[in-house]
Amino acid sequence: MKLPDLRQQTEFDCGDTARTVALLGAGYPRRLVKSLPPISTPDHGTPPRRMALLMRRNGIRARLHKRLTLAKAEKLMAASFTLVCPVAGKDNGHNGHWITLQRVSETLVTYHDPFCGFTSKSKMDFLDWWEDTDYRGERWQSAAVVIPRYVRGATVKDCLTVRQRPAPAAERRVGKPRARRLPEG
C-alpha cells in the first residue's frame, strides 16, 4: 500500500494527519477526506474511541480493534485494510501519538509517523511502543482504527456507512420463553 507522506502542523494534530494518510492511502477521494471535521483537540488529543466514532458518523466504515496482534494486523493489511494506531510507549515519554501502519515483515514494522515521516522499528520495540492511555485513563494496548479500502469506481455513497434502523420490538429476539409449571391437582 502506498501512503502519502504528510506531516502534522501542530503538536496535537497527529491523529488528524494519521487519519488523512490512512484514508488517502486506502484510496478515498481527496474531496471526501478534506471534508471531514478535525478530531484532535489541544486538551485531549485524539482518543481512539473518538477517532473511530467520528469517522463512522462521517460515513467511513472504521472500526476500533483492541488487543490486536502483529499477525492479525498483517492479515488485515493483506486484505486491503489500513490501520491507524495509537502509540505512546516508553521512548516518547508516554505522550500519546498516532501512526499509520504500512507493512509488517518477519523482523520489522514499517509505518508512517506524522511527525517524522516513514520509519520502522523491530517487532519487539514496536510492541513495547504500541499502547496509549487516553485523558480518561482508559488504556489502549495494541489498538487500531481499521479502515476498509475504498473501491475504485464506487461512488462516495458506496463507502458511506449504511445506517440500519433497529427492528421493531415485536421482531427482536428476547430469549427463550420460560416453561410454566402447571399447578398440581
pLDDT digits (tens, 9 = 90+) for 32-90: 999 999 988 777 788 899 999 999 998 899 999 999 999 999 999 999 999 999 998 55
116/157: higher pLDDT = 116
pLDDT given for residue 171 in this prediction: 41
pLDDT for position 144: 96
Q: Supply the pLDDT for residue 180.
A: 52
Mean pLDDT for all residues in the chain: 82
Q: Is 98 helix (H, G, I), strand (E, B) or coil?
A: strand
pLDDT recorded at residue 94 = 53
User: How does pLDDT run across 1-32, given as a tens digit for each residue?
Assistant: 789 999 999 888 899 999 999 999 999 999 99
Q: What is the rounded distance in angstroms from the CA atom of residue 116 to the CA atom of residue 33?
A: 22
- 58 touches 36 (CB < 8 A): yes
pLDDT at 181 over 70: no
| Domains, the chain | 14-151 (3.90.70.10)
Q: Which residue(s) pair with 99 in the sheet?
A: 85
- 94: cell is 508516554
pLDDT digits over 141-172, tens only? 999 999 999 876 544 444 444 333 333 444 44
What SS3 state is found at 117? strand
142 vs 136: CA distance, rounded Å: 18
Asked if residue 8 lies in contact with residue 98, where contact means CB atoms within 8 angstroms, the answer is: no
Assign 100 to helix, strand or coil.
Answer: strand
The pTM score is 0.78
